[in-house]
Amino acid sequence: MVTKKFGSILVVVLIVMVGGSMAINATGSETDPDRRSFIDEFEGTKSVAEKHPMSESPTQHWWVSSGGYAYWENGQGRTEMGNVPQPNPDPRLASYQPKSNTDYGQHPQNIFRMVQRQSWLNYRQTMYFSIARYINSPDLSRTKHNGLLLFNRYLDSDNLYYTGIRVDGSAVIKKKVGGVYTTLATVPMLPGAWDRASNPNLIPEGVWLGVRSEVVNVDGGVSIKLFVDMERSGEWRLVAQAIDDGSAGGPPLISEGFGGIRTDFMDVYFDDYEMTEL
């Protein structure tokens, strides 16, 4: 049992092992004991280094597959912040030094990828993001397709869905099969005109933005929905949805996969990650 204080309200949290995984349920809520859930509020202080393969990750619940490090501190998670000293003193980041997409090792967080290590089929996934800084890298892979994104049904780096908000202000649902991306839905959401040089990021900085996905198998394919909570108001708005029936980009991803987080060319804080079976 864990207690956590929010202002003057004390919340008691009951931690239950369900099916070999950690389910965290708020006492007094309507909870199905057979429904798995996982919550990470980024308590404590630690760093998790990028490792390969996933089995080498030093933490049970997460795998940092790209981006150097993830950090837990002050009740929040984060990517690397600012510039990594050069020459890079950490051999775990050395592989990025010759790559332009990390500014030759100076910004490994340009390609931050963190995968949740439990497999899930039908679920709701939620994360709050706050951009501390946009990194105006000269690398050509810094484009309007970058953003704050959730991995869904992640099988490996070449086979997955992702959902989220792009830096050009669009809500997006994509799938990747055999390394090839297919856009399933894209909807303009944030105001402004994106320009790589003069206006490269339309997502507000220093503001908490909630991103939520719901992925469920349906007859003939996979239903994918994307919700956002602007400025952490607690009000979730459906902004994009798609049915992947296999008519474009290869067969739908109907088997269990991992969830996770992707951010591009940003210093980013994280909070209140949750995965719950539907």
Superfamily assignment of 39-277 in CATH? Exo-inulinase; domain 1 (2.60.120.560)
pLDDT of residue 270: 97
Enter the DSSP assignment of 54: G
What is the reported pLDDT for 86?
78
pLDDT at 16: 35
pLDDT tens, position by position, 51-61: 999 999 999 99
What is this structure's pTM?
A: 0.87
Q: What does the pLDDT read at residue 44?
A: 95
* Sequence-separated (6 or more) residues with CB below 8 Å from residue 29: none
Residue 95: per-residue pLDDT: 66
Query: Taking the CB of residue 40, how many other CB atoms lie within 10 A of it?
Result: 19
DSSP states of 112-136 as a string? EEEEESS-BSSEEEEEEEEEEEE--
User: How confident is the prediction along the chain (278 residues), in pLDDT tens digits per residue?
Assistant: 444 433 433 333 333 333 333 343 322 223 466 789 999 999 999 999 999 999 999 999 999 999 999 999 999 999 999 998 877 777 767 666 678 999 999 999 999 999 999 999 999 999 999 999 999 999 999 999 999 999 999 999 999 999 999 999 999 999 999 999 999 999 999 999 999 999 999 999 999 999 999 999 999 899 999 999 999 999 999 999 999 999 999 999 999 999 999 999 999 999 999 999 99
* CB-based contacts of 158, cutoff 8 Å, min separation 6: 176, 177, 178, 179
Q: How do the domains of the chain map onto residue ranges?
A: 1-35, 39-277
pLDDT tens-digit profile of 158-209?
999 999 999 999 999 999 999 999 999 999 999 999 999 999 999 999 999 9
**What does the DSSP 8-state code read for residue 95?**
G
Report residue 3: phi and psi, to 5°.
-110, 145
